[in-house]
Structure 1
Amino acid sequence: MLENWIVTILVSVGVGSVLFMVALFVLLRNNAHANIFWNELVLEKITNFVMDQSKEQRILNSVSYNAIKGDAESVLDCIDKYCSQKEWAMNVGDEKGLILDKIVKEADPTVALELGTYCGYSAVRIARLLKPSAHLFSIEFNAEFVPIAKEIIEIAGLEDKVTILEGHAQDIIPQLKTKYNVDTLDFVFLDHWKDRYAPDTILLEQYGLLRKGSILLADNIGFPGAPDFLKHVRNNEHYECTHYPSHLEYMKAPDAMEKAVYLG
């Protein structure tokens, strides 16, 4: 009798464990919040502890070992492969990257600005499309990401086209004219803290950094969203907006990008 009772408990625990794992798999597959939580706050922390290095360093290692030096496309492919197959990361990614490519080609900028460098993926993506006389300024507040991004950009052979400015956008934007000799910006890619999209856009306006025809492209408008930014540009006679539905980088979760052309 006791043996039957023990067997029943063990079977129940086993079935319960299987059901729990199935439920967890479904949740992670269909819920972007849960998926990011699992990847960023569970798996990444465990891997960092075991390997004694950050995810960003592992991305750099993959690029260093596998990408062709001086080949920007090879660098992008390497990062996309790593982040889609091994560890999720918050790059703009390959799908939305095609939208970014399209808008950069449309803007054909001489001077471009990126808010949020991270590992340098989108900086490489933008800089590889710039004409010989053009330059990209990229602002990154996290001091740990800056050297990694610089090395990845150098591997791509684009170090002469990109200047990374370390610090907070709200501190650097007011200095762009006086300290970095920026007159106006032809293209701005917003991919930093979502609650900073609107206030930093307003700073760009206040400091006269936007000209008629300047193009702003904002990532993650669908997830996690930037409602204050959308409210500012869509309800503003000085902007003409276009919405681009897509998916969150390396996931099936819905996301979107928003293009806002400054009309002056």
Structure 2
Amino acid sequence: MVSSAIALAFLPLLLTLIIRYRFYMVLLYRAVLVRFWRDCVSGLSREERAYQYVLTHATPGDPDSILDAFDTWCSKVEFISNIGPKKGKILDRLLMEQRPLVVLELGAHCGYSSVRIARALPLGGRLYTVEMDQGNAGITEKILRLAGFDDDTVELIVNPSDEVIPKLRAEFGLERLDFVFMDHWKKCYAPDLQLLEDSGLLGKGSVIVADNVLFPGAPKFLRHVRRSGLYEWKVHRATLEYSRGIRDGMAELIYQGIV
């Protein structure tokens, strides 16, 4: 009797927690449990499964078709933390406004955002995309080729970001970065931003866009941005890619230089 009474007393709290965190539970199911099961059954990585879907459902040489296929797979089949279509439109708008000639992407993952950026480049523009995972880099290269982009437009660099950034000037001949997109490990955002500042590759007006600064979050990055005084900045509020009810945001920074 006592146990039943205690259980009944906690039932409203349990229901409240389930309702409040239902979107996070769905994300846990889709991003972790489904992935684990299909990894075991298929013998392929999640990124390889996504590539197979895109390969069979997209039109080669058509970046829009490839992005649409990715979005369908990620929203209806398995979750992958691409930037997605909603936040992707914010990125598209910023790229259209800035018309950057030299773009650095940190975290190519499986090539979704690389395609999204490359298709927006003006004539003569070039994207340098950095991915530390060999397997994901291989998928990215296939996706870029499927979309019709060659080495003249996109250069894929397979190495950790903290090793690449200090070498961009000496090994890749870069003098200035017009636009930087961060979508790699969130714990790397703050130290990599400081590496970029120290590199001398950020000029007045250089734009840095960082995804997922609210979820899963990049508090050290945002704290550095606030305290440094080097940027005009704001956070574009949105929801997590391919999810409902989970608040997220993209930070937009405009470098002002040392005051």
TM-score (ref. length: structure 1): 0.87
2:169 aligns with 177
2:186 aligns with 194
State the shift of 1:159 in Å. Answer: 2.6
In the TM superposition, what are the counterparts of 1:39-118 in structure 2 within 5 Å? 39-118=30-109
Q: What amino acid sits opposite 1:257 in the alignment?
A: M
SS in 2 for 1:112: strand
CA distance in 1, matches of 2:211, 2:19: 24
1:128 aligns with 119
SS in 1 for 2:170: helix
In the TM superposition, what are the counterparts of 1:201-240 in structure 2 within 5 Å? 201-240=193-232
Q: What amino acid sits opposite 1:255 in the alignment?
A: D
**Bigger CA drift: 97-106 or 156-165?**
156-165
**Bigger CA drift: 153-162 or 243-252?**
153-162
1:259 aligns with 252
Gaps of 5+ in 2: 1-10
State the shift of 1:162 in Å. Answer: 1.1
Instruction: Judge conservation of contact 2:23–2:243 (CA < 8 Å) in 1.
Output: no
TM-score (ref. length: structure 2): 0.89
State the shift of 1:102 in Å. Answer: 1.0
CA distance in 1, matches of 2:19, 2:184: 27
**Bigger CA drift: 90-99 or 103-112?**
103-112
State the shift of 1:191 in Å. Answer: 0.5
State the shift of 1:141 in Å. Answer: 0.7
State the percentage of identical aligned residues: 40
> How many residue pairs align between the two structures?
242
Question: In the TM superposition, what whole-angstrom CA distance separates every residue of 1:199-234 from its partner, at most 9, and x where no partner exists?
Answer: 000000101010010000010011011011111112
Runs of 4+ in 1 over 6 A off after TM superposition: none
Gaps of 5+ in 1: 1-18
1:9 aligns with none
Q: What amino acid sits opposite 2:66 in the alignment?
A: V
**Root-mean-square deviation over aligned CA pairs:** 1.9
CA distance in 2, matches of 1:28, 1:147: 39
